[in-house]
Amino acid sequence: MSNIRHILRLHTQNIAFFEIIKQTGILRTPLRKYINDFKKSGLKFEEINELSDKDLEELFLKPVEKPADVRLQKLLSLFPAMDKELKRKGMTRKILWEEYIKNHPDGYGNCRFNQLFAKWRSRPVPILHKEHIAGDKLYIDFAGQKLSIVDEPTGVVQNVEVFVAILGASQLTYVEAVMSQKKEDFIPACENALQFYGGVPGAIVCDNLRAAVKKTSRYEPSINETFFDFGEHYNTAILPARVYKPTDKAPVEIAVRIAYTRIYTKLTDQKFYSLEALNTAILSALDEHNNQIITGKEWSRRQKFNEVEKAALLPLPLLRYEFKKLAFVTVPKNCHICLPADKHYYSVPYHFIGKNIKILYSNENVEMFYHYERIAFHKRDRLAYTYTTVNEHLSPAHRFITELTSDRFVSLAGEIHPDVKLYISVILESQRHRDQAYRICIGVLGFAKKVGNERLTKACQRATSCGTYSYRIIKKILEQGLDMDKDEGENLKMPEHNNIRGKDYYQ
């Protein structure tokens, strides 16, 4: 712009063309253009000299306006929807072009269409610089490329998943090989990462894999119950990234790419015959990576973690998280539900018969829940087709039956009178089968509620004096009133043996 001002100044001073060209070094054609534009403007040099450089540029360097290309503008307006469609499985640019040319017969050809679409997608997109707070977030993901282990007896190669975690502020990285992306492997890997860092971040940012997210949502995704329980145990939040938004977990995306060059390359020429051996090699390469000085910095990831982030992490709980599996069953009439994994039966309170309950079981414990309330707890027993019973879960009648023992009967009889205790003890010893003796004892002791302890005691004393031990003889004594203080013993003929059966018993 200063060169244009100088040219116009010389021109207003009536300096010849060739002299202006000689002084400014400008070509003849642009010189004529500037002077012609100056004349057309109708302004004086003093007025032009007061203009800003921007105004002067608009006056003398106006771009040549091209007519608007309606066809191009229409195509550019379609690109955002096409870009979204291209993310669908099976969709290609060829299909998009065919739909475009079908709706716009005068549109661009396939080659030009691809050029314009590629140029549109390569447009610069602004990226927000995010300042990571120490101890705030742990980013986790699985690497796209897998590692492998070899089954030594058969030589079969098995691919394994690679779990990667990174803290936002210090970039301290954790890598572990696991058998799959299922909950059984994913959650223990997350726990091992927290143990590796020695603390708990404020939130864990994960991908939308099934082991972590039950139902995706841009605003409030539904977390898998087991993973949510894991977060509750460690007092941390679970923050799934938005679908198709890898920038939400950019640190771990970068960590995965770095792992390919600094960890994978060191394991390429090695064979591992177990997951433990592979993870040992990974930790060795990982330790070297974390202690390496970061390019353009003066500290390593480990140094920054120790100085900045370690103290900001929440403390680990005293007990490690116990991985739990989930099952749903309906309580049968016998109050014992079957744990499908072990085929073992566990009792639940009898008033939940017919209810659908939730079972959470770990390697050590089995818990039953109904409407978010725990109704039963058992230590896990892996012995198939056997029963674990808590007597409090049974109905009162069934509980009474299960609590029956010889000592129980003797104790109940002793509370009435020592002679009743003696009488019951003899019955328990004289019968051939336990259940037979128990039924007689129940009948004899049941008279205490009907006639009172005193009359039952006298009846047992009278029957003992005659050497007979039976429910029916006690019943006969009480019915005929022979336990009263009267001399009516001669009215009852007692047999010599104590194992009385048949109608002769009453004669």
Angle formed by the axes of helices 418-430 and 406-416, nearest 10°: 150
Provide the phi-psi class of 138: left if phi over 0, else alpha when psi is between -120 and 50, else beta.
beta
SS (H, E, C) 458-470: HHHHHHHHHCCCC
* C-alpha closest to that of 443 among 404, 480, 417, 481: 404
The torsion defined by the Cα of 403, 405, 410 and 413, in degrees rounded to 10, comes to: 40
pLDDT at 67: 57
pLDDT at 496: 42
Residues forming beta bridges with residue 160, ordered by sequence position: 147
Residue type, 474: I
Rounded Cα distance between 181 and 462, Å, is 78
Rounded Cα distance between 95 and 28, Å, is 54
Tokens of 66: 């091209």
Provide the phi-psi class of 251: left if phi over 0, else alpha when psi is between -120 and 50, else beta.
alpha
Rounded Cα distance between 449 and 441, Å, is 14
Rounded Cα distance between 299 and 311, Å, is 18
Contact (CB, 8 A) for 207 and 186: no
Contact (CB, 8 A) for 339 and 361: yes
Q: Exposed (0-12), middle (13-18) or buried (19+): which is 270, by Cβ within 10 Å? A: exposed
Q: Phi/psi at 92 (nearest 5 deg)? A: -130, 165
Rounded Cα distance between 193 and 305, Å, is 14
Residue type, 172: L
Contact (CB, 8 A) for 162 and 145: yes
Would you tell me how many other CB atoms lie within 10 Å of the CB of residue 252? 26
pLDDT (tens, 9 = 90+) of the chain, 507 residues, equals 777 788 888 878 777 777 888 777 788 888 888 888 788 777 777 777 777 777 777 777 665 555 557 888 888 899 989 988 888 888 899 999 999 999 988 889 999 999 999 998 887 777 777 788 999 999 999 999 999 999 888 889 999 999 999 999 999 999 999 999 999 899 999 999 999 999 999 999 999 999 999 998 888 899 988 899 899 999 999 999 988 888 889 999 999 999 999 999 999 889 999 999 999 999 999 999 999 998 888 899 999 999 999 999 999 999 888 888 888 999 999 999 999 889 999 999 999 999 999 998 988 899 999 988 999 999 999 899 999 999 889 888 787 777 777 888 888 888 888 888 888 888 888 887 888 888 888 888 888 888 888 888 888 888 888 887 888 888 888 888 776 665 444 444 444 434 433 333 333
Q: How many CA atoms lie within 13 A of 321 on its CB side?
A: 27
Which residue carries 């047992």 as its tokens? 460
pLDDT at 205: 95
Rounded Cα distance between 502 and 471, Å, is 13
Give residues with Cβ within 8 angstroms of 244, minimum separation 6. Answer: 87
* C-alpha closest to that of 409 among 466, 394, 454, 400: 400
Contact (CB, 8 A) for 270 and 263: no
pLDDT at 251: 93
Rounded Cα distance between 496 and 474, Å, is 16
Rounded Cα distance between 273 and 140, Å, is 26
Q: Phi/psi at 314 (nearest 5 deg)? A: -70, 150
Number of residues in the chain: 507
The torsion defined by the Cα of 285, 289, 292 and 294, in degrees rounded to 10, comes to: 160
Which residue carries 């019968």 as its tokens? 431
Start-to-end CA span in the chain (Å) = 141
Which residue carries 């674990």 as its tokens? 388
* C-alpha closest to that of 493 among 478, 484, 482: 482
Contact (CB, 8 A) for 263 and 289: yes
Tokens of 311: 């103290």
* C-alpha closest to that of 267 among 278, 275, 257, 256: 278
The pTM score is 0.60
Question: DSSP states of 401-463 as a string?
Answer: HHT--HHHHHHHHHHH-HHHHHHHHHHHHH-SSHHHHHHHHHHHHHHHHHH-HHHHHHHHHHH
Contact (CB, 8 A) for 259 and 175: yes
Contact (CB, 8 A) for 204 and 282: no
Angle formed by the axes of helices 2-12 and 28-41, nearest 10°: 70
Give residues with Cβ within 8 angstroms of 216, minimum separation 6. Answer: 208, 240, 243
